Amino acid sequence: MPDPLTPEQRRKAMQAVKSTGTSPERKLEAALHSIGLDQWEAHCPTLPGKPDFAFHEARVAVFVDGGFWHGHPTRYWQGRSGEYWDKKIARNQERDRQVDTELRSLGWTVIRLWDFEIQKGSEAAARRVQDALFPNAVRRVAEVAGPGYDADDTNANAAGGTGDFSNVDSVLEKVVDDER
């Protein structure tokens, strides 16, 4: 199906799409601040792909990807929106792969988070970033907490109801502070 808009109409429509300061980015930013992470550069122009959050010291680049624009299988269905969009999304995905490869070749860790996942739970997304920034902290907290510790849920009763890990958050904060 051909694009129903003229090239000029399409250009104006695409220019109107917000690419920085989106709601998911703001939610992730607030979640990062809430766990004490605030040393990043937003939309870093000197790095490939202009990461939404660039943690230079740790060399961690974080992208907040829109499910439709970056072709998440539950948000974009190839063949349903027409050839224009199939090609556009395919180009976006190829560019994402190239950016990831280039950043990794420069020694950066790349994290891609889906916008809809952040909207559902920005705390989990912030923990993913924190885990990349402080990989040894995650291992050390798991050692302190013991068997059954679930790194994805620091507030869970990690021992399946038999242990008390109510202090895991404070342990995590101490371990992260030690690594800083």
Q: Is residue 128 part of a domain?
A: no
Do 169 and 98 fall into the same domain? no
129 found inside a domain: no
Tokens, residue 35: 């766990």
- pLDDT tens string 117-138: 999 988 999 999 999 998 766 6
Shared domain check, 110 and 175: no
Q: Is residue 19 part of a domain?
A: yes
Say if residue 110 is in the same domain as residue 143. Answer: no
> Is 24 within a domain?
yes
CA angle 34, 32, 157 (to 5 degrees): 65
Structure confidence at residue 70 (pLDDT): 84
**What residues make up the domain containing 22?**
7-121
pLDDT, position 127: 92
Instruction: HSE, CB side, 13 Å, CA atoms: give it for residue 85.
Output: 17
138 & 116 share domain: no
One domain for residues 40 and 95: yes
Q: What is the pLDDT of residue 134?
A: 87
Structural domain includes residue 138: yes
Instruction: Examine residue 26 and state whether it is found in any structural domain, yes or no.
Output: yes
Is the domain of 55 the same as that of 30?
Answer: yes
Taking only Cα atoms into account, the Rg of the chain, rounded to an integer number of angstroms, comes to 19
Report the predicted TM-score, pTM, of the whole model to 2 decimal places. 0.68
Is 117 in the same domain as 143? no
CATH assignment at residue 107: 3.40.960.10
- Tell me the C-alpha distance between 44 and 142, whole Å: 33
Question: What's the number of domains the chain is made of?
Answer: 2
Residues 145 and 114 in one domain: no
Whole-number pLDDT of residue 30: 94
Low-confidence ranges of the chain (pLDDT < 50): 1, 14-16, 18, 154-165
Q: Which two tokens stand for residue 21?
A: 């300061």
